[in-house]
Amino acid sequence: MRRLRLGMVGGGDGAFIGAVHRIAARLDDRYELVAGALSSDPERARASAAKLHIAPDRAYADWAAMAKAEAGRLDAVAIVTPNHVHHGPAKAFLAAGINVICDKPLCLTLDQALDLQQAAAASPALFALTHNYTGYPLVRQARAAVADGLIGAVRVVQVEYPQDWLTTRLEETGQKQAAWRTDPARAGGAGSVGDIGTHAFNLAEFVTGLRCESLAADLTRFAPGRALDDNAHMLLRFAGGGRGMLWSSQVAPGNENGLRLRVYGDKGGLEWLQEEPNTLIFSPFGKPPQRITRGGHGALPVAAHATRIPSGHPEGYLEGFAQLYRDLAEQITARIDKREPDQAALLVPGIEDGLRGMRFITAAVASSERDSAWTKIE
């Protein structure tokens, strides 16, 4: 399987979403990170690139320079900067004929968006926007279920995305994520609406396959002194007569990333919650609700396409597995480097654990053969 040559704009040391993009690119081994403008600070750009095994001559501090120099040498670029640095790089890389993967929301203003639409149309390159929740197997299952008519004509759409991390003025403490997301200059004209409301909106349209035609909104700034909305309530009207509600909030204590979608048609309903993404509730009208699991009974091919492991292992299983590899890498590297390993990396099971397992099996079989007599695990 070909590995594509990937570049990245943004995502230097300490960034959150850049690291997520790199893990996502690596997971299926289809990309190799070979170039980057990881920071606008040259020193930080260089140091971040070195840590990521990017050759020094492909480490840039200027995305415009990178776009020019890398034309023909990259298969794709990932743009993982704050919102106000989406439009420029996206346009530059499209112009260079390089496929673009851009974090959401698209940019700062509707004018910028229309401009990018033209740029994308004029370029031979693809443009992808990481509305990442559409990558969940059961979100795709839900979309296919609606398209297949399993819930009939859509009547009601309930979508919400509550968080609690901005309940207080976190942006005052110097926390970087909070700082730019509550700053109109860097986030645009909306707060919770732009940051997470767009995810909710996209999810509703993605799953229903319907266009939302109009809305009535009530945006609020609850934290005293905040410049952008931190809570939003909306009524929605969809093409074809469906009605809906949308709630986004960053001030709802007890909620982490509670993106939830419920869709009801004249023949059934669907419910999905991002924090328990491996389950989809399907309620055919007049029958008991069914619990569909990723890859389990009732899963459609489109869900299987987006699945790497058997049902019942939550997506998240892979991270647990990877943790052992990471901790062992730390141990091995420490040996090579002749230093003490990180204490937290010492929990990897070893030969003694394997021996325990064999003793357990041996004792279990022996006990059972002796009519369940108590048997020592030596």
Query: Under rule CB under 8 A, which residues in 256-295 are in contact with a second copy?
Result: 256-258, 262, 264-269, 271, 274-278, 281-293
The correct pick among 147, 213, 227, 240 for binding a second copy (CB under 8 A) is 213
Cβ proximity to a second copy, 65 vs 362, nearer residue: 362
Under rule CB under 8 A, residue 112 binds a second copy: yes
Among the listed ranges 39-47, 56-64, 65-73, 245-253, the one in contact with a second copy (CB under 8 A) is 245-253
- Determine, following the binding rule CB under 8 A, whether residue 215 of this chain makes contact with a second copy: yes
Q: Give the 3-state secondary structure of residue 64.
A: helix
Which residues ranging from 137 to 166 are in contact with a second copy (CB under 8 A)? Answer: 137, 139-140, 143, 151, 155-156, 158, 160, 163-164
Q: Which of 167, 179, 180, 183 binds a second copy (CB under 8 A)?
A: 167
Among 80, 136, 145, 171, binds a second copy (CB under 8 A): 136
* Closest distance to a second copy from the beta carbon of 309 (Å): 6
Report if residue 315 touches a second copy, rule: CB under 8 A. yes
The region of 38-46, 54-62, 63-71, 327-335 touching a second copy under the rule CB under 8 A is 327-335
Among 105, 148, 185, 272, binds a second copy (CB under 8 A): 105
Nearer to a second copy, 55 or 318 (CB): 318
Which CB atom, from 42 or from 298, has the smaller least distance to a second copy? 298
Please report how close the Cβ of residue 330 comes to a second copy at its closest, in angstroms. Answer: 8
Which of these ranges, 7-15, 38-46, 58-66, 355-363, lies near a second copy under the rule CB under 8 A? 355-363
Least Cα distance to 234 among 161, 326, 306 occurs for 161
Cβ neighbours of 287 (radius 10 Å)? 9
Residue 222 has φ and ψ, to the nearest 5°, of -80, -40
Whole-angstrom Cα distance, residue 220 to residue 279? 32
Beta carbons of 282 and 276 less than 8 angstroms apart: no
Q: Which of 57, 338, 339, 344 binds a second copy (CB under 8 A)?
A: 344
Of 5-24, binders to a second copy (CB under 8 A) are 16, 19-24
Nearer to a second copy, 65 or 147 (CB): 147
Give 275-280 contacts, CB < 8 A, sequence gap 24+: 277/136, 277/138, 277/139, 277/314, 277/315, 278/138, 278/314, 278/315, 279/138, 280/138, 280/141, 280/142
Q: Which one of 336, 338, 339, 340 is in contact with a second copy (CB under 8 A)? A: 336
Both tokens assigned to 311 = 């049902």
Q: Which of residues 191-210 bind a second copy (CB under 8 A)?
A: 193-194, 197-198, 201-202, 205-206
In this structure, are residues 255 and 245 in contact, taking their beta carbons and an 8 Å threshold? no
Figure out which of the listed residues 8, 34, 45, 129 binds a second copy, where binding follows CB under 8 A: 129
- DSSP of 233-272, one letter per residue? EEEEEETTS-EEEEEEES--TT-SS--EEEEEESSEEEEE
Q: What is the DSSP letter of 165?
A: T
Tokens matching residue 344: 């937290």
Q: Which of 204, 307, 192 is nearest to 260 (CA)?
A: 204
**Number of amino acids touching a second copy (CB under 8 A):** 196
Judge if the upstream peptide bond of residue 105 is cis by omega within 30 degrees of 0: yes
Is residue 109 close enough to count as binding a second copy by CB under 8 A? yes
Q: How many residues does the chain have?
A: 378
Q: Is 183 in the site for a second copy (CB under 8 A)?
A: no
Of residues 22 through 61, those in contact with a second copy by CB under 8 A are 22-31, 51-53
Q: How far is CA 23 from the centre of its chain?
A: 11
Kindly state whether residue 229 participates in binding a second copy, applying the rule CB under 8 A. Answer: yes
Measure the CA–CA gap between 357 and 346, rounded to whole angstroms.
Answer: 19
Q: How many Å apart are CA 30 and CA 2, to the nearest integer?
A: 7
